[in-house]
Amino acid sequence: MADGTKKLSKILESATINGYHYNLLGLFGLERALNGMEVMIISFVLPILTKTWNMSGFQTGLIGSAGIIGMMIGNFFWGNISDRWGRKDTFIYCVLNYSIFGGLTAFAFSFSSGFILRFLTGLGLGGALIVGTSLVTESLPNEARGRFIVYLDGFWPIGNILAALSSFFILSYFSFQGSIALPYLGAIDNWRFLFLLSFLPILIIFPIKSRVRKSPYHLLENGKLEESKEKIKKIFSTKDIQGQLSEINVDEGSSTGFKKLFSEDYRLRSIFLGVIWFTLNFGYYGFFIWLPDTLTAVKLFDNVYLYLILIALVQVPGYLFAAYLIDKLGRKKSLSSFMLLAGLLILIFSLKLDNITQSNLLYLKLILTAASFFAVGSWGIIYAYTSELFPTKIRSMGLGYASGIGKIAGVLGPIIAGLLVSKSYKAATLPLGLSFLIGGTVVILFGKETRKKLLS
């Protein structure tokens, strides 16, 4: 057991939130929003690329899943690097990774080049999500840990809004016959401008490098006691921890890496989290990657862009509600409730897709909006829950493993939905709702509560 990190966590029970933590939330929240924007942009571009590159339904599904495949591998790779080399530097490399390859997607010219660039973009996207979560988790007082991680993930729908707005203006408002005319360059495919926006996250690196402190937990776990104490004094108010830092000792080194996840101490929780992340990703990515295409096909909305913005706006209070519940009800009850409600609502929506009438139109819109509320709220809770179930030595690796397993499902979800959509949109969406229900049930049966537990 990591006694040093346990003592640190015990000391931080009396620590309080200060300005540094809000700055940290703002910086990493901005990155999370741009991360979400990068993930969602492909769903708006897919219909255009399908026609432009003459792709089959299967190829379209692969392009939609390419970034998720990259995220899966990035989760494992960057998670392991983060546990060995540190959170802050690894996070910066992740942002550089996805910004560069995301921007270069603007120059893709075929299915093959598009797939490769989206895959490489995904490597950094996946790493940034789990490494950022680890760093923020290890920089917070115990009492604020759960809700702040939900707040962090609450920036994700802001990215969805940015993706929808950018797509509306670039693909529709400023375009003529699929192109945007520029002086001297002539007409350029409009979708290429969307991917040029992917270079923007590079700008976040500069304030992160200068303002963000390294994780005191990770430093302590790696034998850097004095540096850890120095970071603690800078991150937390001195009066909260005065006279207690002398109690902290250096932890003895212990094994790290993938094998540690399936040692006797962590095997069951690793399997449990793998199942939860799999079901959440399968349902979420399968449903929301295909949502613009589904809404257009069943003619449920006149303006898909504006409705997707509305859905994203509804997701923000979904995160706020999740942040409230996670400290009131605990992680287990909150996550199971959100997943079960999301699954039930998606099932109801799916069953009504073959019978859309004027009388049930508003009803279906409300169901879809509520499903989005609970589906995205699940994400904030699961990040907080997972980060608390693994110790510092393997926290990023544990998050990377769980998220990586989830991304396998995130790849399968859009592909399977793409194969089933030829039968009907109901057939494509029903399994996605069932996936949420299975995950919520597993949390009820096998989940353990981590609220108010010390980090180790």
The dihedral through the CA atoms of 272, 273, 276, 279 has a sign that is negative
Q: State the pLDDT confidence band at 387, using cuts at 50, 70 and 90.
A: confident
Query: How large is the average pLDDT for residues 321-349?
Result: 92
Q: How far is CA 413 from CA 120, 181, 439, in A?
A: 20, 37, 15
Residue 170 CA, distance from chain mean position: 25
Q: State the pLDDT confidence band at 68, using cuts at 50, 70 and 90.
A: confident
Q: Which CATH number does the domain 16-235+257-446 belong to among 2.30.30.140, 1.10.3720.10, 3.60.21.10, 1.20.1250.20?
A: 1.20.1250.20
Give the pair of three-digit tokens for residue 354: 């073959």
Q: In percent, how much of the chain has pLDDT > 70?
A: 83
Residue 422: Cβ-neighbour burial (10 angstroms; 0-12, 13-18, 19+): exposed
Beta bridge mates, 186:
182
pLDDT digits (tens, 9 = 90+) for 3-62: 556 677 676 666 778 889 999 999 999 999 999 999 989 888 888 898 889 988 788 878
Residue 101 is predicted with a pLDDT of 97
Residue type (1 letter), 299:
K
Q: State the pLDDT confidence band at 286, using cuts at 50, 70 and 90.
A: confident
| In the predicted structure, residue 115 carries a pLDDT above the cut 90 | yes
pLDDT digits (tens, 9 = 90+) for 220-251: 877 777 777 788 777 776 665 655 666 666 65
Residue 390 is predicted with a pLDDT of 84
Query: How large is the average pLDDT for residues 340-363?
Result: 81
| In the predicted structure, residue 170 carries a pLDDT above the cut 60 | yes
- Residues 356, 146: Cα–Cα separation, whole Å: 40
The secondary structure of the chain in percent helix, strand, coil, rounded to multiples of 5, reads 80, 0, 20
Per-residue H/E/C for 255-284:
CCCHHHHCCCCCHHHHHHHHHHHHHHHHHH
Residue type (1 letter), 308:
L
Average pLDDT, the chain: 84
Q: State the pLDDT confidence band at 1, using cuts at 50, 70 and 90.
A: very low
Q: State the pLDDT confidence band at 113, using cuts at 50, 70 and 90.
A: very high
Strands (E), 158-308: 179-182, 186-189
pLDDT digits (tens, 9 = 90+) for 13-22: 667 788 899 9
Residue 2 is predicted with a pLDDT of 52
Query: How large is the average pLDDT for residues 383-387?
Result: 89
Query: How large is the average pLDDT for residues 140-147?
Result: 82
With CA atoms as reference, report the closest residue to 432 among 413, 409, 419, 418: 413
Contact 295, 309 (CB under 8 A): no
Query: How large is the average pLDDT for residues 124-141?
Result: 91
Residue 3 is predicted with a pLDDT of 59
Residue 97 is predicted with a pLDDT of 97
Coil, strand or helix: which one is 186? Answer: strand
Lowest mean pLDDT among 152-156, 165-169, 334-338, 419-423: 419-423
